[in-house]
Amino acid sequence: MNINQCIKRRKSDRIYVGNVPIGNNAPISVQTMTNTETTDITSTIQQIINLKHVGADIIRISIPTMEAADAFKKIKNQVDIPLIADIHYNYKIAIKVLNNGADCLRINPGNIGNKRKIKQVIDCAKYNNVPIRIGVNSGSLEKDILEKYKSPTPEALLESAMRHIDYLDNFNFDQFKVSVKSSNMYIAVKAYKLLAKQITQPLHIGITESGGFRNGTVKSSIGIGLLLLDGIGDTIRISLAENPIEEVKVGFDILRSLNIRLKGINFIACPTCSRQEFDVIKTVKILEKRLEDVTTPMDVSIIGCSVNGLGEALTSTIGITGYRKDSVLYKDGVRQLSRIKNNQIIDELEKEIRNKSKKLLSLT
Ligand code: SF4
């Protein structure tokens, strides 16, 4: 069943971050953030290239200083993926980076000073035709809002977001998206649901500071999954205390698991037991790594024995079912006559998957 057919996405306006559409039924984009020193231009460019390689649609970069804003210009000139500049408090840095080619500004207008400063930033964003993301975070709520609600509740996050949105409204600026993130999944989910009823702009969703790789992946998958199943969310970022490459991979895994956006290989593999005829876990691990550049959507089943192998292979693009010494290959559910020696499964599967990917690409 295509679950996506059951999801009714929230109606939202369309904005563009560079050439990536966000909102109004655009594909849900996956973004992440660099964690190199922005002023270390070589390392930052290399990380951006690596993140693009695994499929990132958009990349955000922290711009804490004027030097970082200068570095941003050089970085932007050498990469071909939309870049969001992340600014806190300093309106001069915001203006500089807008003029240096930012594709989007992450900034909370209420935090950058008086109306004159806010107007200058918004005028510059309008002039450069660049959208803004308001990013409310449970860890940095305004003092008065925290005093009112005693803790960063969903209602507190909503009030903060609406306050920042009012600033943009007052200057007739509607090219923005909003996030209301909390490290508490329940709070984040409720805050997004409240916000979704208040505005028509796209929503950037995520569970902030969700933790290390395993814990953060579980928390993010549940929180983001609940929202997406409710039709809420136009772009996602997974926040992990990990290499940002993993954030991108987890983001696409979530979208693929929900059948929302199919990109890359969906590995179907058994958990293994004493019946396995070849090392399934090692095979999957190696192929996941080797094939991370393949963006063509396809199901690949890697099953250790015939108990479940045939059933999975019949519905997969490519499938292998373990037998003693030589295993059986299936292509589009059709059993192939020649068998694959168990010690050659990894190389043979890689070859088959790449060939299939090329064929599928040539048809599009
Ligand atoms: Fe074990 Fe076979 Fe099931 Fe894999 S498919 S877990 S090898 S019984």
Known binder of ligand: residue 104?
Answer: no
Q: How big, in percent rounded to 5, are the helix, strand and coil portions of the chain? A: 45, 20, 35
**Phi-psi category of residue 12: left, alpha or beta, with phi > 0 → left and psi -120 to 50 → alpha:** beta
pLDDT reported for residue 4: 52
For residue 267, how far is its CA from the centre of ligand 1 (angstroms)?
Answer: 15
- Residues 315-363: pLDDT tens digits? 999 999 999 999 999 999 999 998 999 999 999 999 999 999 999 999 8
In this prediction the pTM is 0.91
Asked whether residue 140 carries a pLDDT value surpassing 90, the answer given is: no
Q: What angle do CA 59, 216, 181 make, to 5 degrees?
A: 60
Which ligand 1 atom minimizes the distance to the CA of 304?
A: 7
Mean pLDDT score across all residues of the chain: 95
Residue 162 is which amino acid?
M
* Topology adopted by domain 265-362: Sulfite Reductase Hemoprotein; domain 1 (3.30.413)
Beta bridge mates, 22? 15
* Domain 3-257, classified CATH 3.20.20.150, yes or no: no
For residue 298, how far is its CA from the centre of ligand 1 (angstroms)?
Answer: 22
Asked whether residue 278 carries a pLDDT value surpassing 60, the answer given is: yes
Task: List the domain boundaries for the chain.
Answer: 3-257, 265-362
Which ligand 1 atom minimizes the distance to the CA of 272?
A: 6
For residue 73, how far is its CA from the centre of ligand 1 (angstroms)?
Answer: 53
The encoded tokens of residue 33 equal 């953030």
Asked whether residue 1 carries a pLDDT value surpassing 70, the answer given is: no
For residue 285, how far is its CA from the centre of ligand 1 (angstroms)?
Answer: 17
Asked whether residue 2 carries a pLDDT value surpassing 60, the answer given is: no
pLDDT reported for residue 253: 94
| Ligand 1 pocket, Cβ-based, cut-off 6 angstroms | 270-273, 275-276, 303-305, 307-308
- Average pLDDT on 116-133 reads 96
pLDDT reported for residue 145: 95
- Average pLDDT on 224-233 reads 97
CA distance 298 to 353: 9
Nearest to 321, CA basis, from 344, 351, 343, 342: 342
- Residues 47-87: pLDDT tens digits? 999 999 999 999 999 999 999 999 999 999 999 999 999 99
Which ligand 1 atom minimizes the distance to the CA of 273?
A: 1
Known binder of ligand: residue 273?
Answer: yes
Residue 146 is which amino acid?
L
